[in-house]
Amino acid sequence: MYLNKTKAAYFLAAFFLIIALFLGISIGTVSVSFLTIIKIFINSVSHTEVFTVDTMQANIVSNIRLPRVILAGLVGASLAIAGCAFQGLLRNPLADPYTLGVSSGASVGAVATLFFHITIPFLGSYTLPVLSIVTAFLTVFLVLLFAKKLDPAMKVETIILTGIIFSSFLGAFISLLIALTGDELRQIIGWLLGSVSMRGWTYIQMFLPFFIIGCLILLLQGRELNILAFGEERAQHLGVQVRFRKMTIILAGSMLTGAAVAVSGTIGFVGLVIPHLVRIVAGSNHRHVLPLSIFVGSGFLILADLLARSIISPAELPIGVITALSGAPVFAILLLNYRKKGR
């Protein structure tokens, strides 16, 4: 019975992602039918004109919408699996890169890189995601360290409140940098709210190595996250190297968050909402929740981006606005449920 439920969850998640991909590519100022999209894909894969398609539609799909949809999907998948891993590690469904301050930390790294025109030798364009990852990791490390100093029991409320404090402080620091630069970096305000508009294949190429490495590392932690759910002491007795696993998960989650922020800005609540919805459908086994979060998070952000660019067309809303409108109420409900349970 459980196996059938799991298979059904994978089928639904894959179907949801495929539909989101086609909708994201199809809908826009110029509509492109699903059949035309399939023909364009076949032509691209075969490198020959197997089917005759309109040149304008082919250019729109290949050069504008497809890279945008792929980037949105990769960012959504990254934030969702990172949030799932953080929730499993801290043993509560209220943790995610946004509420823990990791996204704000990554934003500081990205804005500082642009503000000071930092370029690390041998890294080139990868300087931006690398510094975002470093500041994201430092932020989550400081949040957990500070929370432990305040409350050795590391209660959920303490960690979340500490993350909010760090997010507020880092947000003020970013605002200060923008104010000092005048008009030069005022465009970053829109970027910080989250967007994948006009990013192109270059950003996908920049982001993909970090996505692959981070996801592979976290997907290999499913068994350990299941054991850690019973507490660190019991996990230690069962042979889990708790400290090593904790640092591995934090580093991989920070890598995914930092790289995502570098290419798309700060997008909140994806890592909070998606793992929670996946657990409702598929249960709490991290061996399945982690990969399912990739599928559902990817599809969710593709649809969020579609809504952001369609709701007030021809203008666009930041994706962060859409995810916050859907995620904030869920966060409030989860917090209230935990209060009722006395946690």
How far, in Å, CA of 28 to CA of 241, rounded?
A: 50
3-state secondary structure of 154: coil
- Asked if the bond preceding 121 is cis, omega within 30° of 0, the reply is no
Taking residues 98-119, report their average pLDDT: 84
Ranges of H-type helices in the chain = 2-26, 34-46, 55-59, 66-90, 102-115, 127-150, 156-181, 188-192, 200-219, 222-228, 232-237, 242-264, 270-282, 286-310, 319-340
Question: Who has greater pLDDT, 153 or 100?
Answer: 100
Assigned token pair, 201: 């294949």
Do the domain assignments include residue 2? Answer: no
Do the domain assignments include residue 149? Answer: yes
How far, in Å, CA of 199 to CA of 214, rounded?
A: 21
What are the pLDDT digits (tens) for 25-60?
999 889 999 999 999 999 888 888 888 888 999 999
According to the model, what pLDDT value does residue 157 have? 72
Residue 220's alpha-carbon distances to 29, 147, 217, 223, 254, in angstroms, are: 42, 27, 5, 8, 16
CATH at 132: 1.10.3470.10
Quickly state the pLDDT bin for 240 (edges 50, 70, 90): confident
Do the domain assignments include residue 329? Answer: yes
Domain tally for the chain? 1
Do the domain assignments include residue 214? Answer: yes
Closest CA to 93 of 256, 284, 324, 232: 284
Do the domain assignments include residue 231? Answer: yes
Largest CA distance in the chain: 66
Tell whether the model's pLDDT for residue 16 goes beyond 60.
yes
Do the domain assignments include residue 5? Answer: no
Do the domain assignments include residue 211? Answer: yes
Q: With the CA atoms of 145, 151, 156 and 162 taken in that order, what torsion angle do they form, in degrees rounded to the nearest 10?
A: -50
What are the pLDDT digits (tens) for 251-297?
899 899 999 998 998 888 899 889 988 988 888 899 999 999 999 99
CA angle in degrees (0–180, nearest 5) for 91-93-96: 100
Residue 262's alpha-carbon distances to 152, 199, 245, 249, in angstroms, are: 33, 11, 25, 20
What are the pLDDT digits (tens) for 165-189?
898 899 888 888 777 766 555 556 7
Do the domain assignments include residue 153? Answer: yes
In terms of C-beta density within 10 A (0-12 exposed, 13-18 middle, 19 or more buried), how is residue 145 classed?
A: exposed
Q: What is the CA radius of gyration of the chain?
A: 20
According to the model, what pLDDT value does residue 243 have? 82
Assigned token pair, 6: 């799991």
Phi, psi of 118 (to 5 degrees): -80, 135
What domain range is 259 assigned to?
Answer: 68-340
